[in-house]
């Protein structure tokens, strides 16, 4: 009897050890793992963004009763003295006393030596929304009146823009209309006063692709990684500063038809944060868990680096990432549609293994 009890006890310990090991696997390099807030005057949130200003971090997201509800607005918080400030509603879709539309997908970008820019969308749905913009000259403390972007110009749809060598701001864009899901880029040389629209980089048929993110290389090439309905993260390359793009192809990473983001690290590596999940055959979307980070030296061969979340409860999705001036990488993302998570990573401490045939290594 004692042997049975002892064996059972050891078996329980073994299962507990395996469970704890699973929780700690793929966590090397994480320095901070926190919620931006734990209580809010709304039940649901999504689509976070983050930027570094001269006075610290600023994050934004949309929150309300539920995505697509008219009461959804854009909320913002600043990171001051090691803590996130209480979030405030910065923008919403109020049109008049009787009409209000939902707000969508904020994107923050700090112009070097200039304003902090906030892009977002207003409208009943992604196929009918329009682009909006606000500016802050004091690192996110106060903001200008909202500006509507020109018709047909939306600003960055989900992921941050990049600044080209001639100070042109290049925004990753996409549309979801009758022509299918198509990606392209917008350009502004005067911080959003005037805009130019680039050509579509996919036909909306072979690849249904939206919400691109931009990577840059020391030799001047650019790569875009794109969310698709094709069960893969798609990739395309440009040799002329984003004016034209090559054939869209699989990147070597799966996609669940959910948002991704990517960062070109200062050490020359490329980093992508995404759900390492493949959409099942004939399904519209895949699960939005786990939430993963992979890195690459060439944008073609990827290595597993981190698992930010791994739970069957709800979803962990729509990540955004930046590398700050101190070399650390900051992620913000949706946690169960209830809160916004903030994770800080030291990229020098990442332990990686090759991803082969889209399979995350054991």
- pLDDT < 70 stretches in the chain: 1-24
Give the rounded distance of the alpha carbon of 103 from its chain centre: 17
191: left (phi over 0), alpha (psi -120 to 50) or beta: left
Measure Cα distances from 67 to 160, 222, 255 in Å: 21, 33, 22
Please report the domains of the chain, with CATH numbers, ordered by start residue.
2-354 (2.120.10.10)
Q: What is the pLDDT of residue 20?
A: 42
269-315 per-position pLDDT tens digit:
999 999 999 999 999 999 999 999 999 999 999 999 999 999 999 99
Maximum pairwise Cα distance, the chain: 81
Give the whole-angstrom CA distance, residue 48 versus residue 158: 9
The continuous run of DSSP H or E covering 162 comes out as: strand 162-163
> pLDDT value at position 24?
52
d(CA 33, CA 13): 27
Structure tokens at 222: 């650019």
| Residues 291/317, Cβ–Cβ less than 8 Å | yes
> What secondary structure does DSSP assign to 265-308, as a single string?
-TTS-EEEEE---PPPTT-S-----SEEEEEESSSSSEEEEEEE
Contact 300, 328 (CB under 8 A): no
CA nearest to 146, candidates 112, 179, 192, 208: 192
Which pLDDT score is estimated for 279? 98
CB 62 within 8 A of CB 104: yes
What is the predicted pLDDT for the residue at 16?
42
């Amino acid at each position: 009897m004692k042997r049975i009890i002892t064996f059972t006890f050891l078996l329980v310990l073994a299962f507990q050890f395996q469970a704890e090991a699973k929780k700690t696997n793929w966590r090397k390099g994480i320095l901070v793992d926190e919620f931006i807030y734990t209580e809010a005057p709304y039940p649901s949130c999504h689509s976070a963004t983050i930027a570094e200003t001269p006075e610290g971090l600023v994050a934004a997201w949309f929150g309300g009763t539920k995505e697509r509800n008219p009461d959804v607005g854009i909320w913002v918080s600043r990171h001051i003295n090691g803590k996130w400030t209480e979030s405030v509603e910065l923008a919403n879709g109020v049109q008049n006393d009787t009409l209000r539309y939902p707000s969508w997908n904020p994107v923050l970008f700090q112009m070097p030596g200039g304003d902090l820019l906030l892009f977002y969308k207003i409208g009943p749905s992604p196929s009918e929304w329009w682009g909006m913009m606000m500016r802050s000259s004091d690192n996110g403390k106060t903001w200008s009146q909202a500006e509507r972007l020109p018709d047909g110009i939306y600003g960055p749809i989900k992921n941050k823009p990049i600044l080209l060598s001639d100070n042109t701001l290049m925004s990753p864009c996409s549309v979801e209309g009758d022509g299918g899901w198509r990606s392209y880029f917008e350009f502004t040389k005067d911080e959003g006063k005037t805009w130019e629209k680039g050509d579509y980089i996919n036909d909306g048929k072979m690849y249904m692709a939206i919400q691109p993110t931009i990577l840059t290389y020391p030799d001047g090439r650019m790569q875009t990684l794109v969310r698709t309905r094709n069960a893969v993260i798609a990739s395309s390359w440009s040799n002329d500063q984003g004016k034209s793009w090559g054939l869209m192809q699989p990147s070597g990473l799966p996609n669940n038809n959910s948002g991704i983001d990517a960062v070109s690290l200062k050490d020359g590596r490329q980093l992508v944060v995404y759900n390492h999940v493949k959409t099942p055959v004939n399904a519209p979307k895949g699960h939005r868990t786990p939430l993963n980070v992979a890195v690459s030296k060439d944008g073609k061969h990827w290595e597993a680096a981190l698992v930010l979340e791994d739970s069957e409860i709800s979803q962990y999705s729509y990540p955004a990432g930046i590398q700050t001036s101190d070399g650390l990488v900051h992620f913000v993302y949706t946690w169960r549609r209830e809160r916004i998570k903030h994770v800080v990573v030291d990229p020098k401490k990442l332990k990686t293994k090759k991803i082969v045939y889209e399979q995350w290594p054991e």
